[in-house]
Structure 1
């Protein structure tokens, strides 16, 4: 009878553990910034799953320790060793098979989400290191569906971002039409940079000399913040840009208005020309910022890259 109650208690605890783990996993959605793209939903689903698994393992281990302390506590004067778990085939299979299946399941889920995000740039970097696979890779690229409603060229350098839109419009702001699949064709003009918007859940390295594609679908209008997540030197804190997700009508209106605007002065250029605020001058090498943050000649942009 006592053994039956033990098994019943374990079964009830596991059931409660599953419910609590699922609840904590759902809470994990609120720990992240607002989802602004359809790709963010997939990333958050994986994060929620990992939180649920971690909660189940943590509470399960804590419960097992408490269970052992309560039901298998040695008597006060008992200094003998407990029953050895070594050599128990059932336990060996359990604690070998369970982590293996769990890791394989997580890897499969991560791979599926990675494929759904459809980031071509990472595959391109990996394959171009092996010349013998170049021909096969070229065929593979032609078969990949990379459809997008619009393509925006992204140029990043020390110390600013430049976005080239259709009709030769350039700006230091990234504007995206909501609910439209947009391809960002990214180019680094000097060193490694990284495109990162927390609400998009997408981080992409931008490698000099390579065209890196990032396809995303914004689904929530609003203003967001683009940061370069790779440290690149003196004015790294200024390597940011505003991102606006707006309706197609507002997006087209902005394009029309921006076509008549003049170039804006680079923040890094302004800071570079301010009097020094420290008593000691350093001899660190730094790239002198360009006077403007928007290149107005689209042909020159293409030629430089």
Structure 2
């Protein structure tokens, strides 16, 4: 009888594991396309958490349903249940398992965080000290993607690092390419190249967030914060401010264009040949329109002047 119970429990555990892994693999389709090497790391962690959560949920729910169906009291049975006292072994087991799971999740999450090379609070406060950031490597690209620039591109770190400066203000993004000396309200990036952003805020805390890249970095006023990631998929993505930075913060969005190195160089030349002009700024336009109304609205911070850039998508 014991052997039979062990076999039944083992079969149920195997079935739950298979279903949980299937659900965990489905989690990849719940997120935007993987646009950066970091997104692969984050999605793997997310799938792992979904798999673990599905196993626990199905196991607990299944046990409750089994108990409610096959071990319920007979009709009109109002007697008390058996006087069962505490089981020390059982209490130790159901305490130890969650503790081990928490340590497992914490360790795996920290590894992902470390590989992504995200600036933590201490790094943000001590940026005068050099910091060796471990970068994420992109996995081999699918056949429908663009081919890599060189035969050694299996390791993204061997390709050149592109340095770009980012200015955040209420409410606009300005991107500066110091080697060429051009500015833009649209962020252009070469695919399969390591990107290093030097970010600063002119007023309040802003959040640099590209959902498709799974990267987010708070930008703190009066602090120069370096941030790195590696785009691996050609396309157009959305950059948004993840921190509430005032009335018009929802308009603080910008297009992120990932393109081949050849197209990226063409864009740099095109932008360099353009004369600087004032870019269209939705926050400034909405504020100007609201200021003309006779009825005064709630007090708000006036948007910064629309940026003057070489290139604007408007």
Q: TM-score range by the shorter chain?
A: 0.7 to 0.9
Unmatched segments (≥5 aa) in structure 2: 136-156
Superposed displacement of residue 90, structure 1: 1.7
**1:294 corresponds to which residue?**
308
Q: Does 1:246 align with 2:245?
A: no
Within the candidate set 161, 166, 179, 1:154 is matched to 166
3-state SS in 2 of match to 1:273? helix
Rounded to whole Å, the distance in 1 between the matches of 2:65 and 2:215 is 41
TM-score by length of 1: 0.85
Q: Does 1:270 align with 2:269?
A: no
Q: Which has the higher helix share?
A: 1
Which segment is superposed worse, 98-107 or 74-83? 74-83
Rounded to whole Å, the distance in 2 between the matches of 1:280 and 1:101 is 60
**2:55 corresponds to which residue?**
56
Unmatched segments (≥5 aa) in structure 1: 129-133, 297-305
Q: Does 1:224 align with 2:223?
A: no
Aligned residues: 283
**1:176 corresponds to which residue?**
189
Verify the 8 A CA contact 1:223 1:242 in the aligned structure 2: yes
Superposed displacement of residue 270, structure 1: 2.7
TM-score by length of 2: 0.83
**1:205 corresponds to which residue?**
218
**1:6 corresponds to which residue?**
5
Q: Does 1:81 align with 2:81?
A: yes
Verify the 8 A CA contact 1:150 1:182 in the aligned structure 2: yes
Superposed displacement of residue 23, structure 1: 0.2
Within the candidate set 185, 190, 197, 2:203 is matched to 190
Rounded to whole Å, the distance in 2 between the matches of 1:95 and 1:121 is 34
